[in-house]
Amino acid sequence: MEITAGPADIDDADHSDLLAAVAAAESVLSRRFGAQVRLADPERLGGAGRSVVVRVRVASTPFSLPRTLVVKRYPSAVADRDPFAHEAVSHKLLTALPGEDRLTPELVAQDAEARLVVLEDLGKAPRLAEKLLGSDARAAERGLLSWAHAMGRLHATTAGRDADFDALMRRQGSQCCADPIAVDVHAALAGLPTLLATAWDVDTPAPVVEFAEQAVRGFVHSRRRAFSPSTSCPDNHLVTSKGVRFLDFEGGCVRDIVFDAACLRVPFPSCWCGYGLPAGMSEAMVAAWRAEVGGVWPDLDDDAVFLPKLLEAQLLWVWLATWRGLPRLDLALPSGHRPLDSPPRSTVLASRWVRLRADALALGVKPVAFHAEAVVEALVARFGEASVELPLYPAFR
């Protein structure tokens, strides 16, 4: 196996994982094509602790393969879900799309025993996070709008693929749920009122609980369903010359598309590395998404239909983030790709409740707005007035 030395900052254990992933990929590719394939020059691309992600050069092959590939390997399943199964099945579903409709890397090979996928290398295009943390406001704005358009196109081209996704999951032999986040949504619905009362002495009135229960029913039984990457982190979106391309499908599934659209109103609600956006930016992103999905779901062109559903999805994201984050909100828990001066988690969370309050008031859903106000007041009492002042992404300052 032709492998050059790894970067100096990779310790022995990490380098061992990298070499193991490359060796496994060589074996899988060689079996897949029936002849020896050799890989070289591994370059670590990151990973969230649950996976090893590496770019490799195809050093030797009797077949026509790309010059470089990306290997992603998962050592083991996590609790009640298997990120490898979701990654592999998502790529199978999306690789079957026509090339012009594909907004993701093409699947070259996968192996359930080795728990890895081998993917097309989309190159060294900047990630959306780099645009937002840079200094070019126009480039950041174009990146955000491209993300919104790409999400809408992804939904439109995968509309109603529930049966296909479920069949692929069964064939994969996965024992985990079809939508991992659905488990957490139900847990947040059941657990957040008690958590708020215990931690901050904030009551959740019955009308608010009823609204949340309605939102969960809509989320579970929605007929507007399509493939969802399941992560909204800007580090998982490449800004290429052909538009945004999606990476990382550890929770990929088919689900309610409006739940994804709420990621545009409250950008990146599944991660804690967020800053604020300029006034009107979220609205422009939602409009871009609607322009792409309107041909498949024309009823979403009607504000009377769309905006109430968007508020329900927004509330689910805010409840989910609060349920996940509140127990550790006092702790300094940096994310690997967060700059050192990024906002504290309390500020990120407060901004989401502030936006929920404003959007609920705009639709006249006063119980939700008043409850959001109570949570904001609790956050201010705990963390100070500055806790609700979310700075803009550096590109927009």
The tens digit of pLDDT for each residue in 4-26 reads 333 334 344 467 888 889 999 99
| For residue 342, pLDDT beyond 50 | yes
Burial class (CB in 10 A: 0-12, 13-18, 19+), 324: middle
Range 128-396: architecture per CATH: Alpha-Beta Complex (3.90)
pLDDT of residue 11: 46
pLDDT interval class at 148 (50, 70, 90): very high
* Number of residues that this document lists for the chain: 397
pTM, rounded to two decimals: 0.91
Strand segments (E) across the chain: 38-46, 52-60, 68-73, 107-111, 116-120, 225-228, 237-240, 243-246, 253-256
pLDDT of residue 4: 30
When the pLDDT of each residue in the chain is averaged and rounded to a whole number, the result is 89
Q: What is the pLDDT of residues 155-213, one digit of tens each?
A: 999 998 989 998 898 888 765 566 878 889 999 999 999 999 999 999 999 999 999 99
- CB burial string 218-239: b at 16+ within 10 A, e below: bbeeeebbbbbbbbbbbbbbbb
Q: Is 192 helix (H, G, I), strand (E, B) or coil?
A: helix
Tell me the residue type at 351: S
pLDDT of residue 37: 92
| For residue 341, pLDDT beyond 80 | no
d(CA 286, CA 149): 9
pLDDT of residue 2: 35
pLDDT of residue 34: 87
Which residue did the predictor score with more confidence, 238 or 9?
238
pLDDT of residue 28: 94
| For residue 139, pLDDT beyond 80 | yes
pLDDT of residue 170: 87
**Residue range 290-315: mean pLDDT, rounded:** 98
Q: Are strands 107-111 and 116-120 parallel, antiparallel or unpaired?
A: antiparallel
To the nearest 5 percent, what fractions of the chain are helix, strand and coil? Answer: 55, 15, 35
Q: What is the pLDDT of residues 58-94, one digit of tens each?
A: 998 877 888 999 999 988 766 667 889 999 999 999 9
- Answer yes or no: are the C-beta atoms of 367 and 315 closer than 8 Å: no
CATH 3.30.200.20 residue ranges for the chain: 12-120
Which residue did the predictor score with more confidence, 316 or 339?
316
Class assignment of domain 12-120?
A: alpha beta
Start-to-end CA distance of the chain, whole Å, equals 49
pLDDT of residue 3: 33
CATH 3.90.1200 residue ranges for the chain: 128-396
Which residue did the predictor score with more confidence, 88 or 336?
88
pLDDT of residue 55: 95
Token code pair at residue 69: 């590939």
Instruction: Please report, rounded to a whole number, the percentage of residues in the chain having pLDDT higher than 90.
Output: 69
| For residue 1, pLDDT beyond 70 | no
Which residue did the predictor score with more confidence, 334 or 315?
315
pLDDT of residue 175: 57
Which residue did the predictor score with more confidence, 366 or 174?
366
Instruction: Please report, rounded to a whole number, the percentage of residues in the chain having pLDDT higher than 70.
Output: 91
